[in-house]
Structure 1
Amino acid sequence: MNSRIFSIDVLRTVAIVLMVIFHFIYDLKFFGYVDWNIPDGEGWRTFRYVILSSFFICLGASLHLSYQRAINWKKFTKRLIQILVSALAISLVSLLMVPNNYIYFGVLHFIAVASLLCIMFANKPRMSLLIGLCIIAAYNIGWMSGIWPFNYIRSYLPAYSNDYVGLFPWVGVVFIGIWFASTAFLQNDPLKHIEKNTWLALPGKHSLVIYLVHQPAFFAIFGLIAYLSGR
């Protein structure tokens, strides 16, 4: 099986585009141009869940495709360090800009931890499916907390974080992504007939860079507009 499937890159592109749209609208609210209840309104919350689900399915699929035969620990560690450094940078910047709502465990923090938790199951798709379904079911019936393990240090953390991704149930989605990558449907790469349109996969191949750059760019643009307009 290929270690890269065009359909996964396209799904990741869709996720990153939706995320940029989501953050653009969030920034419109932040700078006072709209009063929509984003990200906590019911429709906006669902929109965010779709984005997160897409990213984490891709994460699990990538783990399976890259490490199903053997784990290249050098490659895995290099990528993990990149994500951890990026996550730390986001925490520090958010602490400076919004100290009351800083990001202590956002998307990148989750991806780093979930990668460590799931890597040993990269070649066990059926077991991963079972684990993933059990985690999601246990969360939905109240056996697992969405704020674990931070509930033990809750008093030291902000009451509300601008980006929080709980280990539960989301790590279950990553496990399901491992299984999804092993299915005949995905192995046949359902979008391979449009693979000549490589631009569709380009953002998905550079999602980390886009994730890190787009919000500072938006803030710079909106900040400049606010300054020039005297808002």
Structure 2
Amino acid sequence: MRIIALDIARTIAIVLMVIFHFCYDLKMFSYVDWDVPDGRGWQEFRWAIVTLFFLCLGVSLSLAYSVAINWRKFSIRTGQIALSAAAISIGSYYAVPKNWIFFGVLHFLALSCILGIAFVRFPKLSVLLGFIVMGVGMLELLPSRWPFYLFFDNLPSYTNDYVAFFPWFGMVLLGIGLGSTDWLKNDPFERLKEHPKLHKPLTLIAWPGQHSLSIYLLHQPILVGILYLASQFI
């Protein structure tokens, strides 16, 4: 059973992500001079996007596995994310070797699935640890590149996508706690979907959130392709 509220939250994250990457691509093709992704406002924009994604991951883990863990289903889904992350690392290494992605969003999601599954039956502990993990990151008690700097000395000084374990895994843990609440389990959008005039719009809005991984992988090649073609005629 799908939770419409969760799918809609993912859809919002996806729409914001596409907007963010489109702005980044406009800069890459020199259509604009915006300081994407590191300028004032753009970092906060990215934080809002990943916050939604990581909360949704924690909620998904809780809703799907808090009662019983289907290890086959879990392994297939986590494997898909991990293979996608590996493909992005390989592709970025050849495309932009000086800034290749060694631990981006998908790498983080795969690791968070593996670690987060241990907490799905302990939502209160998950919330407590979530705040601790976030505190460690926000207070900079550990370097942002922990633990990679301990094992590798040849990673790029700047990477096109990086997610620090601290504080972001804390957001996943908070999502696990949120997913255990009756308010979310009962799905606040379910009654709205029963309304004949709202059923189709809600279904359409939720659709991107149900295919988030595919959209994540495909949207950038499509955007870059469109802008490249446009650059040939402008």
Normalised to the residue count of structure 2, the TM-score between the two structures is 0.93
Partner in structure 2 of residue 219 of structure 1: 224
Partner in structure 2 of residue 15 of structure 1: 13
Check if 1:62 corresponds to 2:60.
yes
Per-residue CA distance 1:79-128 (angstroms, 9 max, x = gap): 11111111111111111211111111111000000111110111111010
Could you tell me which runs of 5 or more consecutive residues in structure 1 were left unpaired when the two chains were aligned: none
Partner in structure 1 of residue 95 of structure 2: 97
Give the count of matched residue pairs: 227
State the distance in 2 between where 1:62 and 1:220 align.
Answer: 32
Note the 1:120-131 alignment, pairs <5 A: 120-131=118-129
CA RMSD of aligned residues (A): 1.2
Deviates more, 1:189-198 or 1:176-185: 189-198
Percentage identity across paired residues of the two chains: 49
**Counterpart selection for 2:207 from 202, 210, 213:** 202
State the distance in 2 between where 1:192 and 1:166 align.
Answer: 35
Residue 188 of structure 1: how far off its partner (Å)? 3.0
Code of the residue aligned with 2:82 in structure 1: it is L
Task: Give the secondary-structure state (helix, strand or coil) at the position aligned to 1:69.
Answer: coil
Could you tell me which runs of 5 or more consecutive residues in structure 2 were left unpaired when the two chains were aligned: 194-198
Residue 190 of structure 1: how far off its partner (Å)? 2.1
Per-residue CA distance 1:49-72 (angstroms, 9 max, x = gap): 000000000000000000001111
State the distance in 2 between where 1:97 and 1:227 align.
Answer: 20
State the distance in 2 between where 1:128 and 1:48 align.
Answer: 24
Residue 154 of structure 1: how far off its partner (Å)? 4.9
Partner in structure 1 of residue 196 of structure 2: none
Residue 46 of structure 1: how far off its partner (Å)? 0.5
State the distance in 1 between where 2:192 and 2:40 align.
Answer: 35
Partner in structure 1 of residue 78 of structure 2: 80
Deviates more, 1:165-174 or 1:154-163: 154-163
Code of the residue aligned with 2:69 in structure 1: it is I
Check if 1:141 corresponds to 2:139.
yes
Q: Assess if the C-alpha contact under 8 Å between 1:94 and 1:103 holds in 2.
A: yes
State the distance in 2 between where 1:194 and 1:155 align.
Answer: 53
Q: Assess if the C-alpha contact under 8 Å between 1:4 and 1:65 holds in 2.
A: no
Residue 228 of structure 1: how far off its partner (Å)? 3.2
Code of the residue aligned with 1:139 in structure 2: it is G
